[in-house]
Amino acid sequence: MPRPVPSKPTACLALADGTLFYGRGFGATGQTVAELCFNTAMTGYQEIMTDPSYAGQIVTFTFPHIGNVGVNPDDDETMDPVASGMVVKWDPTEPSNWRSAETLEAWLARRGRIAIGGVDTRRLTRAIRQQGAPHVALEHNPDGVFDIEALVAAARGFAGLEGMDLAKDVTCAQSYRWDEMRWAWPEGYTRQKDAKHKVVAIDYGAKRNILRCLASAGCDVTVLPATATADEVMLHDPDGLFLSNGPGDPAATGSYAVPMIQDVLNRSEMPVFGICLGHQMLALALGAKTVKMNHGHHGANHPVKDLETGKVEITSMNHGFAVDAQSLPGGVIETHRSLFDGSNCGIRVADRPVYSVQYHPEASPGPQDSFYLFERFAAAMQARAS
């Protein structure tokens, strides 16, 4: 039977092992189940919540000041929040930013996402690191009444992300053109009017700022759904193929994405560039394997070493699976490696302009050390056309 909790917290986060965290609920009311991860970024909570790569996950923010700049329509990475919910240490305060159009609390409530504040996020983050990303259930009930047994059972009943193809859930329904470029002062977002390269972008859960970076690098972008075939790609006569970020188990999405990529590689010498899930899709297509990580990489401060130049980049990351570097076949070179744990962060084909990285070079949020990768993609298309 449901029982009231002392001191009347209005939200409860239940881990599958029975651990409970109580706090103040905000945003939408109700219950959701998901995998729990933590993100160490100090900025960009709106971009994180609307990143399609977070489908099936609740995000714990290690930075305590979440909500202090409000939200605005320009910072959405997709139409609606995709992350299932959020966990924060301190309750959001009134926003103080000239771009703010709405409070985080009102935005979450209107978009149907549950949040809990007042949680010891340090303790929770340690638990995630020690036991791996746990399955959890989060409930917000203004009456402060929770059926704890049912909540823990819901967490234990979550199937997990392994074997889940979530790209189909977050991809576009049909193809479309994209010409909006990166935000710049004072104009804001402007349109690409002098594109030099035709690019087909496969949407496994593409963030808007990734598409903006392609446009800013001189690309005329046509976005196709995740299930697009090689025939549908080649129909657009592209100069290059881009494979986007996205959520879920790469092996599951690979059931249809890998044959398409292999077919395109066999039929064309065009440059191919992949990011995040797109990196994993390319690796699988080339014969490598992917593995589930203990707690993944989620943040805007991840050091990555370029093994070919020795340069270290500070990158933005969001992934729970990784390419197994030991499984890379001959002719596929490991180009980047995480300096946190040594996991693979980039590959390229030895004799072709085909490459990918695990991190997010569009940096929304995060540092812009890696924007050159979009320019490298454009240069590869220009070199092939010359």
Q: Are 339 and 305 in contact (CB under 8 A)?
A: yes
pLDDT of residue 5: 45
How far is residue 285's CA from residue 84's CA, in Å, rounded to a whole number? Answer: 30
pLDDT of residue 312: 97
**Catalytic-residue membership of 37:** no
How far is residue 33's CA from residue 156's CA, in Å, rounded to a whole number? Answer: 9
**Catalytic-residue membership of 295:** no
| The two structure tokens encoding residue 270 | 């065009």
* Residue in 31, 37, 16 with CA at minimum distance from that of residue 157: 16
pLDDT of residue 386: 81
- Chain-centroid distance of CA 143 in Å reads 34
197, 276, 297, 302: which one is catalytic? 276
298, 302, 336, 360: which one is catalytic? 360
Q: Are 251 and 290 in contact (CB under 8 A)?
A: yes
With a CB cutoff of 8 Å and minimum separation 6, the contacts of 241 are 199, 200, 202, 233, 261, 264, 270, 271, 272, 273
pLDDT of residue 7: 63
pLDDT of residue 166: 98
Angle in degrees, CA 49, 61, 93, rounded to 5:
85
In sequence order, the β-bridge partners of residue 119 are none
pLDDT of residue 2: 43
Summarised one tens digit per residue, pLDDT across range 201-225 is 999 999 999 999 999 999 999 999 9
- In the predicted model, residues of the chain with pLDDT beneath 50 are 1-6
Summarised one tens digit per residue, pLDDT across range 329-353 is 999 999 999 999 999 999 999 999 9
Q: Are 194 and 218 in contact (CB under 8 A)?
A: yes
pLDDT of residue 37: 98
The 10 Å CB-count burial string (b at 16+, else e) for 286-296 is bebebebeebb
pLDDT of residue 344: 98
**Catalytic-residue membership of 276:** yes
pLDDT of residue 4: 47
- Chain-centroid distance of CA 33 in Å reads 18
How far is residue 54's CA from residue 261's CA, in Å, rounded to a whole number? Answer: 24
105, 139, 313, 362: which one is catalytic? 362
Domains in the chain, ordered, with CATH? 3-157 (3.50.30.20), 167-385 (3.40.50.880)
How far is residue 180's CA from residue 189's CA, in Å, rounded to a whole number? Answer: 6
